[in-house]
Amino acid sequence: MKVNEYYRASSLEDAYQKLLASPKNAIIAGGLWMKKMGQSYETLIDLSNLGLDKIEDKKDEVVVGALATQRDFENSKVVSFLYAGAPAFAVREVMGVNFRNIATIGGSIMGRYPFSDVITGLLPYDVKLEFYPAQKMSLEEYLNYKGRLNAILVAVHIKKIEGKGYFKKVKTTALDFPIVNIAVAKVAGEYRVVVGARPMVAAKAYKAMEYLNNGAKDFTKAAELAVEELSFMDNKDASKEYRVDLAKVYVRRGLEEVSK
Amino acid sequence: MLVTFYLNNTQVSYDVRPDEYLSHTLRSHGIKSVKVGCNESTCGSCTLLVDDKPVMSCSVLTASIEGKHVTTVEGIQEEAAKIAYHFAEEGADQCGFCNAGYALVVYALKREIKNPTEEQIIDYIVGNLCRCSGLQSQLNAIKAYLKEE
Ligand SMILES: Cc1cc2nc3c(=O)[nH]c(=O)nc-3n(C[C@H](O)[C@H](O)[C@H](O)COP(=O)(O)OP(=O)(O)OC[C@H]3O[C@@H](n4cnc5c(N)ncnc54)[C@H](O)[C@@H]3O)c2cc1C
Ligand code: FES
Ligand code: FES
């Protein structure tokens, strides 16, 4: 990674103006993905003086600052109570502690990575992204947003609703990227099914959800509907067929788990 | 650019490039205990503590640590000697390349989690790879060290 200037923003407006100043300027969070990509930047904009690393317990939501690290997230008491700990567990599946102390929740979402455990782990829930300049959109809307959003992610709002979640990352060794990841939840009596790392960014399996939420109870059939609806591909880690087989099994197991 | 931080509790100011990583800055100032293995945020051999938390120094820009506290193995000599003793006892010590990173992560584990379970220990050290041994000997050594006192 080549950088000409490292800039500590004094306010969100200051950071935003710097971001607009050149297409070669970018926000830096943990900087791990940016290092891996190895691009050249004119200016990196550091937001760490803006207090965006807090995790707050509000009446009906948990508000996670974009700069909270993955480790802050998994260690947070309020987060660990959310959906039987499933979102925290998903984040704990990323690399080791010395990595998760650097990687941020904001950076993990903004990149819309096709392998992301963080995104898959959050997508079943009612999650809204708060940007500067003022704008809110759901996590799902952001994943489907065409093009690059030239805005600053400020916080991630996770609704607190009674419910239970399940997360499974299939990986070859402890530090690997996922071959496939699955998040299933039952939130206020409604089933949610998400499959990611297909290897494409996480998506909801709407047909399976509709089938279950209309009262059907056959989880094997629901898992089949999920893999029929979502597309899967080959890459160097696994074949499309292997991913489909894994997803079928873990969607079913997830449904069994959250329905208990 | 000039960056000022605390290195093992001593204030230092270094003139660094904006794209320079902490492992590089420290090694170029003679702190050779910081080992760079993969240089790709994976192996953990470059682990040190920033504000008491273990991080991969090959992946932290020096520019980002203004005002923070950096601890290398030189800063925890007494504890590092105890950890090294248990590593030697268990034969977890081979080429030694991973040792400084291990010592720091084990030290941080002890301070962060009281009486960790085996699962918590493994979760804490899984980001520190050792090419020479099977990790079981490390685990035994860490358990013995945590039992001290
Ligand atoms: C070796 C390696 C292995 C990994 N393995 C996994 C894995 O197994 N599972 C997994 O889920 N993830 C994995 N990841 C991804 C990792 O978990 C993080 O999601 C990723 O590094 C991004 O987080 P960051 O804080 O480092 O972001 P950065 O690298 O700092 O930023 C990433 C992008 O987001 C932008 N950005 C960051 N913050 C903001 C903001 N507040 N507003 C606007 N834009 C912003 C940046 O400009 C940049 O384009 C891996 C990454 C690496 C390098
Ligand atoms: S050298 Fe930093 S993680 Fe391998
Ligand atoms: S002793 Fe050689 S890498 Fe661990």
- All domains of chain B in start order, with CATH: 2-74 (3.10.20.30), 76-147 (1.10.150.120)
Closest CA to A156 of A251, A23, A29, A250: A29
* CA atoms of B66 and B63, how far apart (whole Å): 6
CA distance A78 to chain B (A): 18
Distance from CA of A5 to the nearest CA of B (A): 6
Q: What does the pLDDT look like over A155-202, one tens digit per residue?
A: 999 999 999 999 999 999 999 999 999 999 999 999 999 999 999 999
Where do the CATH 3.30.43.10 domains begin and end in chain A? 2-48
Q: Residue A121: pLDDT above 90?
A: yes
What pLDDT is attached to residue A243? 98
For residues A215-224, average pLDDT = 97
Q: What is the pLDDT of residue A48?
A: 97
Give yes or no for a cis peptide into A199 (omega within 30° of 0).
yes
Region of B116 (left: φ > 0; alpha: ψ -120 to 50; beta: rest) is beta
Residues B61, A31: C-beta atoms closer than 8 Å: yes
Where are any strands of DSSP class E within B58-132? 69-71
Residues 30-89 of A with CB under 8 A from B: 31-32, 35-36, 44, 46, 48, 71
Measure A94 CA to nearest chain B CA, in Å. 10
Residues 6+ apart with CB under 8 A from A154: A12, A52, A65, A66, A130, A131, A132
Probe site for chain A from B19, B43, B123 (most A CB atoms < 10 A): B19
Q: What is the pLDDT of residue B135?
A: 85
- Give the Cα-Cα-Cα angle A57, A58, A61 (nearest 5 degrees): 95
A147–chain B Cβ distance below 8 A for any pair: no
Kindly state if the Cβ of B47 falls inside 6 Å of ligand 2: no
* Peptide bond before residue A87 is cis, with ω within 30 degrees of 0: no
Q: Which residues of chain A does CATH 3.30.390.50 include?
A: 163-258
Distance CA A142, CA A140 (A): 5
Encode pLDDT of A73-117 as tens digits.
999 999 999 999 999 999 999 999 999 999 999 999 999 999 999
> Does the domain formed by A55-159 have CATH 3.40.50.300?
no
Bridge partners of residue A191, in order along the sequence: A186
Please tell me whether the overall predicted TM-score, pTM, comes out greater than 0.90 for this model.
yes
User: Which residue carries 């609806």 as its tokens?
Assistant: A229
Nearest alpha-carbon partner for B2 in B68, B10, B46, B12: B12
- The C-alpha of B107 sits at a distance from chain A's nearest C-alpha, in angstroms, of 13
Sequence-distant (6+) residues with CB within 8 A of A47 are A9, A12, A15, A27, A29, A66, A67, A152
**Closest atom of ligand 1 relative to the A118 alpha carbon:** 11
Q: Give the residue from chain B lying closest to A40, CA to CA.
A: B19
Alpha-carbon gap, residue A104 to A155, rounded angstroms? 11
pLDDT of residue B133: 84
pLDDT bucket at B134, cuts 50 / 70 / 90: confident
Cis peptide leading into residue A133 (ω within 30°): yes
Pocket of ligand 3 (CB under 6 A): B 94-98, 130-133
CATH class of A2-48: alpha beta
Q: If you measure from the C-alpha of residue A104 to the centroid of ligand 1, how many angstroms do you get, rounded to a whole number?
A: 7
User: Which of A3, A24, A27, A120 to mutate to test ligand 1, by most ligand atoms within 8 A of the CB atom?
Assistant: A27
Q: Is A15 helix (H, G, I), strand (E, B) or coil?
A: helix
Ligand nearest, relative to CA of residue B43: 2
Instruction: Report the alpha-carbon distance of residue A6 to residue B13 in Å, rounded.
Output: 16
Three-state SS for A10? coil
The segment(s) of chain A belonging to CATH 3.30.465.10 are 55-159
* pLDDT number for residue B57: 98
Residue pLDDT, tens place only, B10-39: 999 999 999 999 999 999 999 999 999 999
Kindly report the average pLDDT of chain A as a whole number.
Answer: 97
State yes or no: pLDDT of B149 exceeds 80: no
**What is the chain A residue with the closest CA to B52?**
A101
Residue type, A252: R
**What is the per-residue pLDDT across A36-56, written as a single tens digit (0 to 9) for each?**
999 999 999 999 999 999 999
The answer to whether A197 touches A183, Cβ cutoff 8 Å, is no
As a whole number of angstroms, the distance between CA A234 and CA A38 comes to 25
A163-258: CATH topology is Enolase-like; domain 1 (3.30.390)
8-state DSSP, A60: S
Pocket of ligand 1 contains residue A26 by CB under 6 Å: yes
Structure tokens at A114: 């096709």
pLDDT of res. B93: 87
pLDDT of residue A16: 98
Which residues in chain B touch residue A96, judged by CB atoms under 8 angstroms apart?
44, 123-128
Measured from the Cβ of residue A114, the count of other Cβ atoms closer than 10 Å reads 17
| Residue type, position A54, single letter | K
Confirm whether the ipTM is greater than 0.95: yes
Choose one of A63, A95, A97 to mutate for the ligand 1 pocket test, by most ligand atoms within 8 angstroms of C-beta.
Answer: A95
Segment (H or E) for A240: helix A240-259
- Give me the count of residues in chain B: 149
Report the residue of chain A nearest B47, measured CA to CA.
Answer: A98
- pLDDT number for residue B95: 93
B59 Cα to the center of ligand 2, angstroms: 7
Residue range A201-205: mean pLDDT, rounded: 97
Q: Whose CA is nearest to atom 49 of ligand 1?
A: A111
Q: What is the pLDDT of residues B37-96, one digit of tens each?
A: 999 999 999 999 999 999 999 999 999 999 999 999 999 999 999 999 999 999 998 899
- Looking at chain A, the whole-number percentage of residues with pLDDT higher than 70 is 100
